């Protein structure tokens, strides 16, 4: 027995069937939608759709009827559906996708549902994802709903500015505001999104203010940001309601701190998982207890702290061990700049991509330098001063990703090394360090990358070299460091750019110089460094970490990192 399979019969059969439909030959039913009538064959409709099969086989009136009315269907969508029954082909576009998917869902045609789902997934944008999410919920399209929800969470900062977001129903808005997986930079952005939704129709929505604010982790927002928003709030009744909520919240928080956590611990609310950042600690040197000054070992090791789980992970090492280098984040990638090892000063730059877990080489600096300071401003990287050979540099270099090269863009008022820098509102604050006379500095200068102008600011109360500097909640913090008179410092000073004044805040529990300092989720982390020892013993490097909460002006110990290190670099990604 031989089995023969025709290669052209199926296509010829469908073509013949389609031709019969086009010529309306042997049609035994009329289907009407949107005022238009289309002739068709019951057997084709039954074979193509469980919906029609059930209709024609159930003994309902449609079984013998020659005309069927579909009240909720658009005529153009019905025509597309019939075309699919006779050809197996469908064209999906933005104008018909959702209605076509609704019809296919009703008729039980999985292929069209899948085609429309894929089309909508491929065309998700910040201005349509909220509407697609609601559509998917309404039609129980769980796959599309999950993809749209993930898109909204991952692109929340763009989505919350769109009109569709401002029109979300209350329950859906609260669902997203409570989400553990919002990708945000800080909790104030969630608060602002919630307030924008309220203010879009404040007359009818102000009654929901407490329900909305309860979805926000207010404890992670600084007092200054909340007070600034209240000051600018134009709706009087909303302003009064927010003031009442925040007043009660502050009382509850004070009681919680004093009774549950102790006065020396910060009030810590767990940030959202997707908002939680990783602290990368890169390079530096290590010296064990009892070691000589010359026993310092320069590191290539990189360790990552997951701030959500408070767990350390080792990631691939940089290609060249280095200390006294700069570490910044550019376009969600980690850059390690310059530094030195065994008296060899580097001009090399390495880049880490967390998605590929790989380090790659970047364009080199114009000159080798160590003890430099670096930061990112307006999507460009700037480096300042440091040792350039045997000289203390005063040049400013800029890496522009568009040309992928470093250029000298200016000079500092005077050369510095081992200073700290922080970017705030497009300006760079250069703090402390050492000069070419071997003196520690307490002076502070501000650099404007646009005008390339420098401004002298108020000096710190203490001179500091090898300090940590970071911007947090509208202030600049100078942490630790050292000077000849006092050795390693545990003192911390805070600068207010609005008043040009420094004030002292609670000191660290440990004296630290050569430490790394970063700000994460409204908290300040002081990492590693070294402390003083007697004059006959070289100081050992520290592996301890402590965390400062500006709301409570308190420090708390956060345990230890896997490797002690000093004069390393750290950044948050």
Q: Interhelix angle for 97-107 vs 110-122, to 10°?
A: 150
Q: CA-CA distance, 460 to 463, in Å (whole number)?
A: 7
Is the sign of the CA dihedral 285, 326, 524, 277 positive or negative?
negative
Edge-first strand order for the sheet with 36-40 is 36-40, 29-33, 67-69
Helix (H) or strand (E) holding 14: helix 9-22
Q: What pLDDT was estimated at residue 399?
A: 97
Q: For position 61, what pLDDT does the model report?
A: 63
Q: What is the mean pLDDT of residues 64-69?
A: 80
Residue 168: strand, helix, or coil = coil
Q: Which of 131-135, 266-270, 438-442, 462-466 has the lowest mean pLDDT?
A: 266-270
Check residues 261 and 532 and name the one with the higher pLDDT.
532
Of the CA atoms within 13 Å of residue 480, those in its CB half-sphere come to 31
* DSSP codes of every residue in 96-139: THHHHHHHHHHHT-HHHHHHHHHHHHHT--TTTHHHHHHHHHHT
Of 240, 234, 192, 231, give the one whose Cα is nearest residue 213: 192
Range in 50-64, 208-222, 395-409, 417-431 with the lowest mean pLDDT: 50-64
Q: Which DSSP string corresponds to 478-503?
A: EE--EETTTEE---EEEEETTTTEEE
State the pLDDT at residue 259: 42
Percentage with pLDDT > 90 across the chain: 65
Q: Over the stretch 175-212, which tens digit does the pLDDT of each residue have?
A: 999 999 998 888 999 999 999 999 999 999 999 999 99
In the chain, pLDDT over 70 holds for what percent of residues? 94
DSSP string, 469-480: EEEETTEEEEE-
> What integer is the mean pLDDT of 394-406?
95
User: 265-279 pLDDT, tens per residue?
Assistant: 444 567 787 777 899
| DSSP reduced 3-state for 545 | strand
Question: Which token pair is 326?
Answer: 């700069």
| String of DSSP letters for 507-518 | PPSS--BS-EEE
Q: What average pLDDT does the segment 112-132 reach?
A: 94
**What is the distance between the alpha carbons of residues 280 and 507, in angstroms, rounded to a whole number?**
24
Tokens at residue 510, please?
Answer: 């440990």
Q: Can you list the domains of the chain with their CATH numbers?
A: 9-103 (3.30.710.10), 169-261 (1.25.40), 278-572 (2.120.10.80)
Average pLDDT of the segment spanning 311-331: 96
Do 411 and 430 meet the contact criterion of CB atoms below 8 Å apart?
A: no
Sequence-separated (6 or more) residues with CB below 8 Å from residue 61: none
Radius of gyration of the chain from Cα atoms? 32
Looking at residue 65, its pLDDT comes to: 74
416: Cβ–Cβ under 8 A, 6 or more apart, which residues?
Answer: 373, 384, 385, 386, 392, 394, 430, 433, 434, 435, 441
Listed range (126-130, 281-285, 485-489, 551-555) with the worst mean pLDDT: 551-555
CB atoms within 10 A of CB 539: 22
The pTM score is: 0.73
Output the CA–CA distances (angstroms, integers) from residue 329 to 43, 112, 346, 356, 469, in the order listed.
64, 44, 19, 16, 16
Indicate the SS3 state at residue 390: coil
Residue with tokens 């898109």: 151
According to DSSP, the residues that pair with 340 across neighbouring strands are: 323, 345
Asked if 506 and 494 touch (Cβ cutoff 8 Å), the reply is: no
Mean pLDDT for the chain? 90
pLDDT score at 265: 41
Of 136-145, 190-199, 270-279, 493-502, the one with minimum mean pLDDT is 270-279
From the list 405, 430, 434, the residue with the least C-alpha distance to 420 is 430
Please give the distance of CA 312 from its chain centroid, rounded to a whole number.
20
pLDDT at 268: 52
Would the pLDDT of 63 be above 60? yes
Bigger pLDDT: 5 vs 182? 182
Q: Quick one: pLDDT at residue 510? A: 96
pLDDT at position 250, please? 63
Query: 423 is written with which tokens?
Result: 């970017």
Q: pLDDT of 8-29, one tens digit each?
A: 888 888 888 888 988 989 998 9
What is the number of other CB atoms lying within 10 angstroms of the CB of residue 440?
Answer: 22
Residue with tokens 């945000």, as numbered in its chain: 184
pLDDT of residue 309: 81
**Range name among 122-136, 232-246, 331-345 with the lowest pLDDT average:** 232-246
Q: What is the pLDDT of residues 208-260, one digit of tens each?
A: 999 999 999 988 887 888 888 998 988 888 888 888 888 777 655 544 434 43
How many angstroms separate the CA atoms of 478 and 461, rounded? 11
pLDDT digits (tens, 9 = 90+) for 356-379: 999 999 999 999 999 999 999 999
| Residue 455 confidence (pLDDT) above 90 | yes
325 vs 344, 345, 354, CA distance in Å?
12, 10, 20
Determine the Cα angle at 48 with ends 47 and 50, to 5°: 85
**pLDDT at position 454 over 90:** yes
Spell out the alpha helix ranges (H) of 181-324: 188-200, 202-205, 209-213, 223-232, 236-256
SS3 readout for 54-95: HHHHCCCHHHCCCEEECCCCCHHHHHHHHHHHHHCCCCCCCC
């Amino acid at each position: 027995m031989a089995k023969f399979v025709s290669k052209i019969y199926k296509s010829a059969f469908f073509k013949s069937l389609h031709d019969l439909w086009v010529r309306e030959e042997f049609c035994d039913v009329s289907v009407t939608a949107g005022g238009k009538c289309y002739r068709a064959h019951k057997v084709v409709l039954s074979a193509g759709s469980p919906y029609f099969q059930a209709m024609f086989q159930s003994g309902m009136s449609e079984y013998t009827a020659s005309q069927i009315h579909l009240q909720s269907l658009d005529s153009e969508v019905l025509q597309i559906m019939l075309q699919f029954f006779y050809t197996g082909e469908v064209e999906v576009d933005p104008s018909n996708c959702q209605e076509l998917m609704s019809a296919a869902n009703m008729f039980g045609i999985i292929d069209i549902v899948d085609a429309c789902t894929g089309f909508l997934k491929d065309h998700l944008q910040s201005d349509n994802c909220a509407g697609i999410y609601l559509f998917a919920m309404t039609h129980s399209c769980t796959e599309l709903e999950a993809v749209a929800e993930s898109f909204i969470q991952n692109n929340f900062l763009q989505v919350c500015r769109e009109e569709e977001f401002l029109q979300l129903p209350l329950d859906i808005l609260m669902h997203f505001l409570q989400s553990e997986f919002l990708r945000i930079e800080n909790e104030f952005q969630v608060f602002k999104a919630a307030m924008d939704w309220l203010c879009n129709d404040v007359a009818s929505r102000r009654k929901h203010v407490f329900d909305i604010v309860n979805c926000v982790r207010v404890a992670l927002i600084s007092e200054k940001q909340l007070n600034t928003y209240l000051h600018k709030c134009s709706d009087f009744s909303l302003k009064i309601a927010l003031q009442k909520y925040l007043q009660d919240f502050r009382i509850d928080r004070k009681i919680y701190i004093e009774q549950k956590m102790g006065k020396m611990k910060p009030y810590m609310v767990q940030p959202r998982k997707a908002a939680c950042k990783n602290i990368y600690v890169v390079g530096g040197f290590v010296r064990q207890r009892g070691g000589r000054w010359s026993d310092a070992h320069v590191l290539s090791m990189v360790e990552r702290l997951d701030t959500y789980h408070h767990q350390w992970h080792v990631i691939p090492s940089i290609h060249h061990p280095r200390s006294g280098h700069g570490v910044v984040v550019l376009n969600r990638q980690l850059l390690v700049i310059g530094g030195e090892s065994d008296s060899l000063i580097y001009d090399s730059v390495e880049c880490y991509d967390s998605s590929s877990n790989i380090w790659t080489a970047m364009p080199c600096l114009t000159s080798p330098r160590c003890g430099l300071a670096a930061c990112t401003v307006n999507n460009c990287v700037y480096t300042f001063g440091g040792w350039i050979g045997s000289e203390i540099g005063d040049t400013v270099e800029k890496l522009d990703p568009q040309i992928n090269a470093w250029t000298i863009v200016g000079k500092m008022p005077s050369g510095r090394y081992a200073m700290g820098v922080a970017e705030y509102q497009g300006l760079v604050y250069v703090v402390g360090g050492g000069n070419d006379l071997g003196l520690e500095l307490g002076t502070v200068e501000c650099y404007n990358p646009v005008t390339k102008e420098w401004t002298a600011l108020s000096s710190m109360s203490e001179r500091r070299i090898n300090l940590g500097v970071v911007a947090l909640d509208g202030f600049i913090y100078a942490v630790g460091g050292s000077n000849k008179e006092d050795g390693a410092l545990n003192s911390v000073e805070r600068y207010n750019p609005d008043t040009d004044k420094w004030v002292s805040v609670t000191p660290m529990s440990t004296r630290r110089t050569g430490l790394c300092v970063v700000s994460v989720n409204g908290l300040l982390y002081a990492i590693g460094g070294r402390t003083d020892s007697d004059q006959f013993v070289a100081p050992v490097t520290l592996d301890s970490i402590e965390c400062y909460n500006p709301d409570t002006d308190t420090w708390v110990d956060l345990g230890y990192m896997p490797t002690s290190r000093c004069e390393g670099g750290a950044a948050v990604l």
